[in-house]
Amino acid sequence: MKLILISKRSDKVRTFSLNSWVRVLLSVALLGIPVAAGVLLGLKLADGRWQLLFEDHIADMQNELILSRQELFEDRQRVSQTLSLMTAKLAQMKASVVRLDALGEQLTELSGIEGGEFDFSSMPGLGGPINLDQQVYRGANTMQFDLNAMMSDIYKSLSKREVQLKLLRSSLADKNLIKDRRIAGRPIAKGWMSSPYGMRTDPFSGDQRWHGGVDFAGRYGSDVISVASGVITWVGEKSGYGKMVEVNHSDGYVTRYAHNHENIAKLGTVVNKGDVIAKMGTSGRSTGPHVHFEVFKNGRVVDPASYIRRTSR
């Protein structure tokens, strides 16, 4: 390969001969520059596309993270609500256990049963063979399992006390409590009968209306007493009755004491014959201080007169 150089200043012409190595280097230089420029340009464009793809991927990951956090927050709220409900239920069940224990101890004292026969602080004698083939499932959520175990234990405790009280009730029926369980006498210590059972002239309207009980008038705030032993099953206000106490006795009998100034008895407690359960008043539909006395037998109201005249024997 030859190079011919012509000068403008002179008429001389110079000729250069290039060997094969020089020709190769010159070709590489001439061809390499555009190729290198193309490669650099391609890399730059590719780098921009990768950057965009990478930014999009980061944005997707951030969105997924936000959604995961929201789901976690909602799950925590649901767990918190569930725990609150279970805690409230546990408190109610524990309160029921305390009331049942107190009632059981009082019934035990009333019945005269020897100590130890009914121990409300220990499990009753229960048992049975276990099936080794059965598998007890243990979930991964330890907290939930612990709460379920607590609920199960309290439920068993309530069931145990219910069994004991049923047995104790049967035992009471055979004990020497017939005298106290017998409905007899007046629901007041002092006072007089102001209105009998049956049809009467309504003191408010003047019309003939049915009167389902007997009224005993007396001094405001005087004692209202239970006519037989039993369990208090209602304490509060009732439409028309005002402040009222209801006592559940044996053999299907229930007595009511209404229009009280103050209810003394507590719901779920045991009262003996002659115990003060309220103070005479004029609450509800009433014209003056008195106690409205009702007797129910097997869910139906009956005339209290025969029980008022009855003597305890």
The whole-number average pLDDT for the span 154-175 is 66
Of 165-169, 229-233, 238-242, the one with minimum mean pLDDT is 165-169
* Residues above pLDDT 90, as percent of the chain: 31
Q: Is 136 helix (H, G, I), strand (E, B) or coil?
A: coil
State yes or no: pLDDT of 275 exceeds 60. yes
Tens digits of residue pLDDT in 279-293: 999 999 999 999 999
297/96 Cα distance (integer angstroms):
28
Looking at per-residue pLDDT, the higher value among 223 and 250 belongs to 223
Answer yes or no: is pLDDT of 121 > 60.
no
What is the per-residue pLDDT for 309? 86
115 has pLDDT over 60: no
What pLDDT was estimated at residue 122? 56
What is the average per-residue pLDDT within 71-96?
77
- Euclidean distance between CA atoms 246 and 156, whole angstroms: 30
Alpha helices (runs of H) in 123-227, residue ranges in sequence order: 142-173, 178-181
Residue 84 CA neighbour count, 13 Å, CB half = 6
The predicted pLDDT at position 108 comes to: 65
8 A C-beta contact, residue 222 and residue 193: no
